[in-house]
Amino acid sequence: MNVHSNHARAMLASAAIVFVLGAPSAGAANARIPARWKNCTVVNNRYPHGIGRVGARDKTSGDPVTTFRRSNLLYRTAMRYNRGLDRDKDGIACEKL
């Protein structure tokens, strides 16, 4: 075998390893969300009325949710993993009557 053939094989093997091990995938961001904060259905199983910051008020045209779990730490943790849990940005994640 010649030097060029070996060099080409080595580069091809390196590229394959980088692609398999280091290639970002479309689901990479979702894979990092712990199951506990995946979506509101999961959150509501543990916290039936949602999680909110202390002093947060529900933005709604109907009856506001007031029975959510008040915890700045839980709310910050939820937002760190999945900002989509508080769609209306009122400081309460997954609020539900």
Please report, for the chain, the start and end positions of each structural domain, with discontinuous segments joined by +: 29-93
pLDDT in tens, 18-32: 444 444 444 555 668
Give the CA distances from residue 62 to residues 47, 59, 92, 95, in Å, rounded to whole numbers and listed in that order: 21, 9, 16, 13
With cut-offs at 50, 70 and 90, classify the pLDDT of residue 1: low
Neighbouring-strand partners of residue 52? 70, 92
pLDDT of res. 19: 47
pLDDT of res. 43: 97
pLDDT of res. 36: 96
Please state, as a whole number, how many other Cβ atoms lie within 10 Å of the Cβ of residue 44. Answer: 16
pLDDT in tens, 30-86: 668 999 999 999 999 999 999 999 999 999 888 999 999 999 999 999 999 999 999
Which tokens hold the place of 50? Answer: 């949602």
Cα–Cα dist 57/53, whole Å? 9
